Chains A and B, each alone.
Chain A
Amino acid sequence: MQNLGYFLAAFIVVWALVFGYVLWLFVRQKRLRQEIESLRERSRK
């Protein structure tokens, strides 16, 4: 299978980056939602 290595490399890089980015978005959003909640709690008191 000629050049299989390259194809797999390209594939892995693309998906690693996309997946990593999506993960980062999820994690960051969760943290921010928590912070919004706590800030709102504080302002209510």
Chain B
Amino acid sequence: MGKVITIAKKDILFELRTKRLLPGVLVFALLAIVIFNFAFAASLETIRLLTPGILWVTFAFAGILGLNRSFALEMEDGCLEGLMACPVSREVIYLGKVLGNLIFMLSIEVPALLVFGFLFNIAVFSLQLLAIVFLATLGFVAVGTLFSALAANTRARELVLPVLFLPLVIPVMISAVNASGLALSGESWSSLASWLEIIAAFDVIFLVTSVLIFNFVIEE
């Protein structure tokens, strides 16, 4: 467990020092929200209805951007070989990266939520919405980390990651969008339950599967 945190810390410290990734992706997310506003050119009521969709599309694409770059940077500096030379198991590497990516994604999503709430006068910081964001992001990152490692070893990594990632996370997207919609309308936890169950099941299943299968993606 300690090793997992160490690997995550390494990625986070690297990012904090170099600031290569976070600012760009954050700006992308904020721009996406603004562009969606122009794209829909709708009344405030309509935007309220569209909020879940806008949020989750933005998060999905910002996630792809961030994940793509994160493994690309690893490979650029030869960090991956160095990491694999260390006496840590592949599973630990995967989990460490998942944790790092999770923190990265959340540090994009929280400001984005803040800005969204500010621009459209929507109360975004409910416990329900935060729970949805956390669980769904975990799902994104579980699948995304596995596939970004895979895509980094292909010729067309910018194409491969979205093509792999987006179909696979459809259950999370559907559930997150629907649950977010309910949460923003102030519905009770019980109405969210079935959606949250799907996301939670997705998280568990794909974390376990990816841990088992990660070795096949990065071995030489």
> Would A and B touch once assembled, by the CB under 8 A criterion?
no
